[in-house]
């Protein structure tokens, strides 16, 4: 893991490192930067649409807000536990999966992760493209292309610019949503909307699944944004900064979406225009809100592009070895993600709302087992200690393919199917639960229990402590388990 791109100037704007360990002398920043980054990544139009879906699917306003908050807290806590791995390991999120799945076996969840990034890139480009189209009068197609290009360029510059973007988007997004919130409070009969409520467990669980899936979707790349923090950063500080930013930003956006949908309906071909229209009839205000929408989406779309790049390099590196990625290679990886995401956005923009909700819910079955396995291994089994050089060696202690983990992961996906309710598949136990979808809860608990039980029977010893960059490499470890 030591081989890789040279960092260049530690203070430079353009990032040089990819999946190699961040040395201590290049570590910088404070956990507060994570709060602003994840606040900005969640205070945006896609979260508004997610919140509106809670009402569109049949919940009333009050129970939608409670369900969304519950899902945000539960999913956000899992996501923040992943974030706390960043300073400890100094590595992108998905490369730690090699310790559980094997150096090459980690490619299995990585395929799902890359598909997720491209899907989120596409859905974000649809909404931001609408905003850019209204601002420039170039049309939706040109708006999507312009926004996608801006996302790719920012991701290519890298880590420092992403955090700068997050701080700026925090201020712009907060101002925009404050304006929209005041207008909504003045015009909508919020007291009346919240006073008429009736609890439905299936609908509550469905809305909770929407926000939980939103948060769990960040898990595979959240440590990418924390890995440059100093190694001495307290894990609790990383956890709370990440959790606070992601829950506050998402709940603000989703609550606005739910209340707006309960007041005026939740469907439309141009979701952005519908939201901006709530800001008033002034052309100047509308233009500023369209800009805020596009700028707010840029933060999370850049994170999707950046995370996709890291995941592709991680997957490829497991088979070809850890080789430096040149600036040209970096640009090609990122361009590939941009082209795939843009093409998907252009093809699916006409049915955005339905496609987006289905995509969000279906994602859960692939990422809850990965989260469960990764967190159980890191926090309960290895006690936050990994043999870093072995993460790059398919002949080392973690092996090339860990069959037990791969079978546990497959079990974690399959065990959810009886409880899953989506357009793709409705499980046989859903009707017995009154239509409730609890697949994501099963997908967290079942594989966690199986992995914990089977991992304790393995013959390999406990991994060596994390090697700091520049320290002596640990000796080759004991027998590989597979």
The pLDDT of residue 6 = 40
Token pair of 65 as six digits:
């807000």
| Whether the predicted pLDDT of 148 surpasses 70 | yes
Question: Is the separation of the CB atoms in 369 and 172 below 8 Å?
Answer: no
Comparing 41-45, 49-53, 80-84, 434-438, the range with the smallest average pLDDT is 434-438
Confidence of residue 459 (pLDDT cuts 50, 70, 90): very low
The pLDDT of residue 72 = 96
Token pair of 386 as six digits:
């990994």
The pLDDT of residue 215 = 92
Summarize pLDDT for 119-146 with one digit per residue, the tens.
Answer: 888 888 888 888 888 888 888 889 889 9
**Number of other residues whose CB lies within 10 A of the CB of residue 267:** 12
- Distance CA(301)–CA(122), nearest Å, equals 9
DSSP structural state of residue 379: I
| Whether the predicted pLDDT of 435 surpasses 80 | no
What are the Cα distances from residue 399, in Å, to 191, 294, 377, 453?
60, 44, 16, 20
The pLDDT of residue 263 = 86
Q: Which residue has the tokens 């201020």?
A: 171
Is pLDDT larger for residue 482 or for residue 453?
453
- Distance CA(91)–CA(237), nearest Å, equals 18
Summarize pLDDT for 300-344 with one digit per residue, the tens.
Answer: 899 889 888 888 888 888 888 777 777 788 888 899 999 998 888
Question: Is the separation of the CB atoms in 268 and 352 below 8 Å?
Answer: no
CATH class for the region spanning 24-363 = mainly alpha
The pLDDT of residue 468 = 45
Beta bridge partners of 426: 421
**Closest listed residue to residue 37, CA positions, set 257, 398, 303:** 303
The pLDDT of residue 73 = 97
Kindly calculate the radius of gyration of the chain based on its CA atoms and give it in whole angstroms. Answer: 22
The pLDDT of residue 352 = 59
Token pair of 139 as six digits:
């049309």
- Distance CA(18)–CA(330), nearest Å, equals 9
Token pair of 334 as six digits:
């990122």
**Number of other residues whose CB lies within 10 A of the CB of residue 6:** 8
Average pLDDT in the 29-34 region? 91
The pLDDT of residue 9 = 43
Average pLDDT in the 173-192 region? 89
| Whether the predicted pLDDT of 217 surpasses 90 | no
**Number of other residues whose CB lies within 10 A of the CB of residue 472:** 7
| Whether the predicted pLDDT of 480 surpasses 50 | no
| Whether the predicted pLDDT of 479 surpasses 60 | no
Beta bridge partners of 421: 426
The pLDDT of residue 265 = 58
| Whether the predicted pLDDT of 167 surpasses 70 | yes
Confidence of residue 196 (pLDDT cuts 50, 70, 90): confident
| Whether the predicted pLDDT of 481 surpasses 80 | no
Query: What is the value of pTM for the model shown?
Result: 0.86
Average per-residue pLDDT for the chain: 84
**Closest listed residue to residue 171, CA positions, set 161, 179, 183:** 179
Enumerate the domain spans of the chain.
24-363
Average pLDDT in the 244-266 region? 89
Summarize pLDDT for 49-103 with one digit per residue, the tens.
Answer: 889 989 988 889 999 999 999 999 999 999 999 999 999 999 888 889 999 999 9
What are the Cα distances from residue 147, in Å, to 62, 121, 341?
35, 10, 11
| Whether the predicted pLDDT of 209 surpasses 80 | yes
The pLDDT of residue 269 = 56
Q: Provide CB contacts within 8 A for 277, sequence distance 6+.
A: 286
- Distance CA(386)–CA(402), nearest Å, equals 16
Question: Is the separation of the CB atoms in 360 and 124 below 8 Å?
Answer: no
**Number of other residues whose CB lies within 10 A of the CB of residue 114:** 23
Confidence of residue 433 (pLDDT cuts 50, 70, 90): confident
Summarize pLDDT for 339-389 with one digit per residue, the tens.
Answer: 998 888 888 776 655 666 576 567 778 889 999 999 999 999 988 888 988
Confidence of residue 285 (pLDDT cuts 50, 70, 90): confident
**Sign of CA pseudo-dihedral 35, 41, 47, 48:** positive
| Whether the predicted pLDDT of 271 surpasses 90 | no
Confidence of residue 482 (pLDDT cuts 50, 70, 90): very low
Summarize pLDDT for 226-242 with one digit per residue, the tens.
Answer: 999 999 999 999 999 99
């Amino acid at each position: 893991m030591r081989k890789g791109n040279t960092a260049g100037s530690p203070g430079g704007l353009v990032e040089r490192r990819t999946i190699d360990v961040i040395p201590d002398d290049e570590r910088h920043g404070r956990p507060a930067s994570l709060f602003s980054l994840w606040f900005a990544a969640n205070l945006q139009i896609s979260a508004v649409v997610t919140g509106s879906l809670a009402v569109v699917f049949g919940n009333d306003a009050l129970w939608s807000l409670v369900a969304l908050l519950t899902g945000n807290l539960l999913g956000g806590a899992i996501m923040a536990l992943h974030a706390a791995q960043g300073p400890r390991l100094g590595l992108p999120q998905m490369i730690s999966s090699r310790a559980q799945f094997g150096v090459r076996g980690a490619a299995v969840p990585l395929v799902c992760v890359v598909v997720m990034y491209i899907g989120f890139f596409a859905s974000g480009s649809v909404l931001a493209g609408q905003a850019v189209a209204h601002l420039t009068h170039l049309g939706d197609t040109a708006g999507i292309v312009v926004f996608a290009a801006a996302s790719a360029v920012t991701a290519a510059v890298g880590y420092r610019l992403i955090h700068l973007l997050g701080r700026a988007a925090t201020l712009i997004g907060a101002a925009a949503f404050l304006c929209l919130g005041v207008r909504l409070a003045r015009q909508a009969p919020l007291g009346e909307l919240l006073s008429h409520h009736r609890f439905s467990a299936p609908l509550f669980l469905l809305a909770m699944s929407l926000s939980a899936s939103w948060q769990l979707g960040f898990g595979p790349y959240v440590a990418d944004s924390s890995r440059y923090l100093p190694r001495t950063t307290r894990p609790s500080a990383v956890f709370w900064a990440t959790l606070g930013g992601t829950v506050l930003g998402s709940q603000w956006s989703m609550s606005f979406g739910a209340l707006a949908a309960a007041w005026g309906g939740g469907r439309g071909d141009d979701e952005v225009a519908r939201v901006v229209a709530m800001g008033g009839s002034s052309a100047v205000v509308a233009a500023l809100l369209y800009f805020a929408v596009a700028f707010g989406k840029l933060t999370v779309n850049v994170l999707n592009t950046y995370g996709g790049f890291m995941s592709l390099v991680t997957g490829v590196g497991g088979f070809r070895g850890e080789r430096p990625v040149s600036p040209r290679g970096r640009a090609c990886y990122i361009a590939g993600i941009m082209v795939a995401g843009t093409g998907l956005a252009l093809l699916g923009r006409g049915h955005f709302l339905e496609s987006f909700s289905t995509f969000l819910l279906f994602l859960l079955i692939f990422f809850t087992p990965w989260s469960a396995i990764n967190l159980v291994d890191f926090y309960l089994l290895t006690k936050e200690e990994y043999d870093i050089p072995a993460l790059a060696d398919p002949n080392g202690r973690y092996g090339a393919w860990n069959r037990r983990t791969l079978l546990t992961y497959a079990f974690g996906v399959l065990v959810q199917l009886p409880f899953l309710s989506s357009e793709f598949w409705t499980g046989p136990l859903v009707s017995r639960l009154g239509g409730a979808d609890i697949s994501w809860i099963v997908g967290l608990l079942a594989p966690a229990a199986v992995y914990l039980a089977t991992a304790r029977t393995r013959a390999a010893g406990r991994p060596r402590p994390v090697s700091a960059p520049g320290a002596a490499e640990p000796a080759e470890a004991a027998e590989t388990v597979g």
